[in-house]
Amino acid sequence: MQMQMQMQMGAMIQMQMAQMQMMPMMPVPVMLPLQPAPPGDPDAAELAQCSFEDLAALELEAQEAEEVAKGEARRSDGFVGLMARYIEDEGFGFISCPECKELWTKTDIFISGRNFMAAGVDVGDMVSFSVEKDGKDLPRACKVRTLPELTGLRKRLAKLREILRVPAPAAGLKRI
């Protein structure tokens, strides 16, 4: 009797599987849980409620703000870049700026510790700056100043991407 029940159950399972193969597969939306907001971050609760449409709007806002800043910098023969790194033990750092490649053949522009400290910038800040040649005829950042609005937008955008688990676009590619 038990053997007969097992055979019947096996036949039922085979029939169900055959029916499933005949049914067209429907796409199943993937729902990823949101990352929990970092504790103590006043923006976190608001960002946790954001959607992908909000992300797209914020990306557009940041892109437009960056274009405005670059336009203003160009009018004074300057550039806009990211304070990419600062080596405290060595007393210097680098500003990453793809636009500098054409004129200076480098995308990372040297910034002395003195200029870094005088400008009051932090690694991760968006900055405007001018470039001059140093004693070795190499490019050096000068007249560095933080762009607080653009820095804030970029940091907010990074947090939102992290919460929504969306990677940043690769360098040189623009997200639509």
pLDDT digits (tens, 9 = 90+) for 147-168: 999 999 999 999 998 888 888 7
State how far the Cα of 145 lies from the Cα of 13, in Å rounded to an integer: 70
What's the distance, Cα to Cα, between the start and end of the chain in Å? 64
3-state DSSP assignment of residue 132: strand
Q: Mean pLDDT across the stretch 21-44?
A: 52
Q: In this model, does residue 30 exceed pLDDT 80?
A: no
Neighbours of 41 (CB within 10 A): 12
Q: Which amino acid is at 174?
A: K
Q: Counting Cβ atoms within 10 Å, is residue 147 exposed (0-12), middle (13-18) or buried (19+)?
A: buried
What pLDDT shows up at residue 33? Answer: 46
Most confident of 102-106, 116-120, 134-138: 116-120
pTM confidence score: 0.70
* Chain Cα centroid distance, residue 125: 13
152: left (phi over 0), alpha (psi -120 to 50) or beta: alpha
* Amino acid letter, 2: Q
- Residue 96 or residue 34, greater confidence: 96
Percent of the chain with pLDDT over 70: 70
